[in-house]
Each structure stands twice: as C-alpha cells, then as structure tokens.
Structure 1
Amino acid sequence: MKLKGRLTEHGARLLWKNFLPTIEKFGKTCQVLLGTDEVHFVQTSLNTDGVHVTARFATETLFDPDSYRCQSKHFNLIAFQVEVGLLLRVLKGAAATNADLVDVKLTMRQVAGPAGEPHSKPFLSFTATGASTTVVQDVPISKPYTASEVQSLVGAKDGGSFCPAYVDVVPALGAAQAIVDRLKAVDDTAMLAIGRGGDAHVLVQTSSVALGAQLRDLPVYPHTAYDPEAADRSKSVSDQLQGLLDSGKAVSVHIQLKQLSRVLHASLFTEPAQVLCGISEGGGHVHIMHVFRDPHREDAYDDNVTLTFKLPVRDG
C-alpha cells in the first residue's frame, strides 16, 4: 500500500477554507477514500447525527498529477477514518506560514502502547516547505480499511440515484435560511414539499400552531421536470400546496429542521453556484447538491468538485 502526493495550491485552499470546515459542522470524524482518479470525503451515520455527506474531488484538483501515487492490492483504493479538526489544523497552519509546497504521504510510525511497548500506527504525514522553513506534522488515522470495508465505503459514497426533480434554492437562499431558522424555534420537525412548478414549501404544525412559508419561481432541474402550469396562483398558498400534492406535481416528506438548517448554512463556506434540493423517488430521503462554478470558465460548472447531502426523513 502506497499513498503520496503534493497538494495543489487550489486543492489545499478548497480543503482548509471551504470543505473541511463544512464537513466538521456535521461530525468530528470523516472517512477518506482515495483512488487513482477521485478522492472522496464521506460521512455516514457513523460520523454524523444521520446526515450523509459526500465531498468528491478529481485527483488533479487536490494533487499535482506528476506527484500523486495511490497503490493498493484492492483496485488501488485506500480508505481510512480521520479527525477532521486535526486535518484542518495542519492545512490551516501550512497556509498561515505561507508554505510553497505541501507534500502528503501515508506512513507508519512506532509509538508506545499503554504498557510502554512499541507498536506501529498509521499516520498521514504532511511536510510543508516554505522559503526558510520546513514543518513536518503527522495526523493519526485509523487502520487502513480492509477490502470489504473499502467496498462498503465505495457503495456509501454514491448515495443512491438522483431525484426526479430538483429546485435551485440559491435565488432565495437567504430567505430559506431565515425561514428554517425561525421554524426551528417552533418545532424540531417540518414538512418539506418540492413542486415541479418551482415551489418549495416548509411547514411546521403543532397542537397549538401552524406556521409555514413558500419559496416561489425557483429554477427546476432537469428542465424536462418543469411544469409551468403546476400551481394555481389564484389560490391561497395552502390550497396551492394541497393541489400540487393531490395532482402528483409535488412530493413531501418530514425532516429535522436542524439538519436542513445546517445544510443550508453550509453554503456560507462552500459558496456554490447552485444548491439543488430534491426528494427521492418514494420519499426515502432529501437530496441536496452543491454545484460549483468552473474556476477557469465563468459560464461553466465544475465537474471536478461536488458536495452532496442526504437527509433522512421522519414519520409525519
């Protein structure tokens, strides 16, 4: 098993400034899956309170292609678990010292056991080289995953199929964040409905109060899912929602508001061009995707970086 590479300046910045702070909001640990073409940071229910998080990077985004080596007996895939805060601290430290180069490698170190006996432990070793300084820091990781554990993580990273329809929340992101935060003070669970006419509804109902909000005219993806006649705007918001649900032009589920709030506020770190929100076929989960601009082309999206969230649903 061999892993080494030199982080690109862009890749290191994406990790310490955007993605690792986001991942840390959902759990203290994450699972890392490295391959020859892609690197994934994955959080499952083992790492979070139920939200499934996957950050995917093309290897050339994070690593200089000439320096990157990832070799193992299992399809050249390597996986392990790591504390997000430790990883973040090392990369922030390298940035703070204006390191010109940051090299990473998987290594084994001899450390003292509970009774003082030496044993080998795996680490990610970071070497940050600047104009006049070289700093080496080791981040402890779990034992590298077995072949079966790697395969389980490969399945977990994909997170299932796409939803039939998504709305892009970015045009109303500030309003959505404020609405969810306000509703969170009323109850911990809300109904979320996504309509093919570009509507998103969030509704809290308790024994003493019913409070909700509608976000209208949001972009719908794919474009073939858009139905401009889906909602009758002459009716009240509650009647519009009921009509959409009755006609099958909207679907609804119940979710934890604190989880939805955390995902919406994650955009403050990642700065996506789109935040696509959909409900899976059959209503098994809510799927939210952050889509990013291509850093080299203003009119294109970046296929090399994605961030997705799966929110579990609750009984209504």
Structure 2
Amino acid sequence: MKFKAFLTENGVNLLEKRFLPALDKMGKICHLYLNRDHAIFLHNLLNGDGVQSIAQFRKEALFDDYRISSQNEDRIAFAVDISLLHRALRSSVSICTEFGNGPTANRLQIKLVKKLPPNSTQPMPFLTFETKGYKSAVIQDVPISKPLSRAQVLELQTALDMAQDLPQTLVQVPDLNQLQNFVDRMRHVGELLNISISKYGDLHIQISTTLITLGAEFQKLLVLGERADAPSEDQNLSAQTRSARAILRGDAQSVQVSVKHFGKSLQCHLAKPDCAFYGITPQGACLTVIFQFFIPGSHQMDKSISLHCRLPVLDQGSG
C-alpha cells in the first residue's frame, strides 16, 4: 500500500486556507479516501450520526506527481484528525515560505509511511509532510488510523455512492452570511428547525416553542431541477399558509432538522464557495446542501472540486 504526491501551490491554498478550516468545524475526525483520480474527505459516512460532509477533489486540483497503489484497486482510506492535519500543513508551508520563493518553491511532499513511535514496539501508520529547506529537511508526521480493510473501503464507497442522490428541487441561497446571522439568533430560542422548500423557489425556515415562533422566508430563489409557478391566489397569504398549501399540492417538502446541525453546515462558508443550494431528498430522507465553486475569474463551475452536506432529518414532516 503506497501513496506519495507533491502538493501544488493551488492545492496548498485550497486545503490550508479554505477546506481544512471548514472541515474542522464539521468534526474532529474524518476519513480521507484516496483513489486513482480523487482525494475525498468524508465525515460521518460510516456511522450515520451527525452531519455528513463530502469534499471531493480531482487529484490535479491538489497534487502533481500523484502515485498510489494498493491491492484494493489502488484505493486507500484511513481516519485522520483534521486539526492535526491542518497544523502539520500550516507548519510545513511556513517552512517552505521561509526558505523558498513561495509556498511550494521547495516542493512539499505528502506520503504514507509506517514508523516506530517512541516507547513503542509496534510500527504505526502516518501521513507525512516532508519539506526540504535551505539546509535541512523538515518532516511533520500526522498519526492516522490503520488503513481500512477491503470490506470497509467497499462500505465507504457504497455510502459515498448513496450520498450522491440529488434532491429533485434545489434552491439557491444567495447570501450564506444572512442565513448564518438568522440561525445565530435562533440558537437561543430552541433546538429544532422546520424547513420547507418549494418548486416556486421559496425557502422557509421556522423555529417554534410554546412561547415564541421565529421564521424567515427567502422567495423567488433560483431553482434547479423540478420547478413550478406559484399560484397567483396565494400572493397575499402569510408565509406559513403559502408553505402549507404548497405542501398539500405536492409542490413543496418540509423536514425538521437540528439547529446545531444546520449551523454546522453553514460553517462550510469557510471553504469560500461561490454559491449554495438547498434541497430535500425524496421521501424527506435528508436536507442536502450543495456548495458550488467557480473557476477563478469566471462564472463557470469548477468541476475539479465538490462539497456537499447531508443533514439528518429528525421528523420527515410532509410533502
């Protein structure tokens, strides 16, 4: 089982400045899944507890001279502590910058190794960053779990395939900060959020307790997938009534999710996505958030990067 590659300058920037800070907010431990074409960071795909997040990169987006081999169709997966990974990368980058002309002037290598830790008789696996400075080489070892077995990798791949199911209707949320501010206020009210999404491009968010109801409505959002025109007779009705009628018509779905989970998914703004889409999967199985990234300086989607979250549903609601 071998993996070795050099991080590109773009790869360093993507991971150090954007994705690792975002993924760290999702949870301390995640799986890193490497295959011939992709590097994928996965949260909660095997235990199904909490927010699932999937950040996928084509190898060219992060690495050059990418080499991988294993007896399991060149697939390797292991669990890693995101904060340790981030710290080692940051430290390696600062050494590169100090002794070179830019983050990767001295080539930052990343590889899988087995080493004997101090006071141990058993070799342990590490993900190692190696930086060759002006007069020395600096090595940063990040401890990882024992690589997953063939059966576990298959289970991970199956969970990943299942997590690719797209909602039939997605609405674009233009301002994640506005949503973040609203959810920050809601945290003090209760723990459960009711969310409904309609084919008209409406997103309703509501939190209720016996004493107070707080809600927000985003209307006429960009719709991807199945869409419909809002009935004119609903125009002057309250947001709650419009939402209830849309659900009865089969033009909307509603689910209940944890405020904590919803807030966590919003932390993905640290990865600096260009836009975000929300949708509810068929039968209200989960709330899905898909983040899109554009090729710098354009409005073309960067297909080498993808990031999405799936929030577990506490009550399937209706629709």
TM-score, with normalisation over the residues of structure 2?
A: 0.91
Q: How does 1:39-188 map to 2 (within 5 A)?
A: 39-44=39-44, 50-64=50-64, 67-97=65-95, 98=97, 99=103, 100=105, 101-112=107-118, 116=119, 118-158=121-161, 159-169=163-173, 171-188=174-191
Query: Within 2, Cα distance between the matches of 1:128 and 1:26?
Result: 29
Partner of 1:233: 235
Q: How does 1:238-257 map to 2 (within 5 A)?
A: 238-257=240-259
Query: Within 2, Cα distance between the matches of 1:126 and 1:47?
Result: 29
Give the secondary structure class of the aligned counterpart of 1:14: helix
Q: Which amino acid aligns with 2:126?
A: F
Which deviations, in whole Å up to 9, do the C-alpha atoms of 1:36-92 show, x marking residues without a partner? 11110001166895100110000111110xx21110001100011111111100111
Retained in 2: the 8 A contact 1:104–1:126?
A: yes
Query: Within 1, Cα distance between the matches of 2:284 and 2:290?
Result: 17
Change (3 A) 1:30 1:47: farther
What value does the CA root-mean-square deviation take over the aligned residues?
Answer: 1.8
Which deviations, in whole Å up to 9, do the C-alpha atoms of 1:110-152 show, x marking residues without a partner? 235xxx5522111111112344553111111111111001111
Corresponding residue pairs, total: 306
* Greater Cα shift, 77-86 or 203-212: 203-212
Change (3 A) 1:103 1:246: same
Change (3 A) 1:303 1:45: closer
Retained in 1: the 8 A contact 2:21–2:271?
A: no
Query: Within 2, Cα distance between the matches of 1:133 and 1:107?
Result: 20
Give the secondary structure class of the aligned counterpart of 1:60: helix
Retained in 2: the 8 A contact 1:191–1:204?
A: yes
Give the secondary structure class of the aligned counterpart of 2:74: coil
Is it true that 1:191 corresponds to 2:194 in the alignment? yes
Partner of 2:220: 217
Query: Within 1, Cα distance between the matches of 2:61 and 2:231?
Result: 41
Partner of 1:288: 289
Query: Within 2, Cα distance between the matches of 1:47 and 1:261?
Result: 20
Give the secondary structure class of the aligned counterpart of 2:17: helix
Q: Which amino acid aligns with 2:89?
A: L
Query: Mind listing any 5+ residue stretches in structure 2 that lack a counterpart?
Result: 98-102
Retained in 2: the 8 A contact 1:172–1:215?
A: no
Partner of 2:100: none
Query: Within 1, Cα distance between the matches of 2:120 and 2:210?
Result: 61
Q: In the TM superposition, what is the alpha-carbon distance from 1:174 to its structure 2 partner? A: 2.7
Partner of 2:3: 3
Change (3 A) 1:48 1:162: closer
Give the secondary structure class of the aligned counterpart of 2:116: strand
Change (3 A) 1:45 1:72: closer
Q: How does 1:25-44 map to 2 (within 5 A)?
A: 25-44=25-44
Change (3 A) 1:139 1:47: farther
Q: Which amino acid aligns with 2:149?
A: T
Give the secondary structure class of the aligned counterpart of 1:290: strand
Change (3 A) 1:142 1:230: farther
Retained in 2: the 8 A contact 1:197–1:230?
A: no
Give the secondary structure class of the aligned counterpart of 1:261: helix
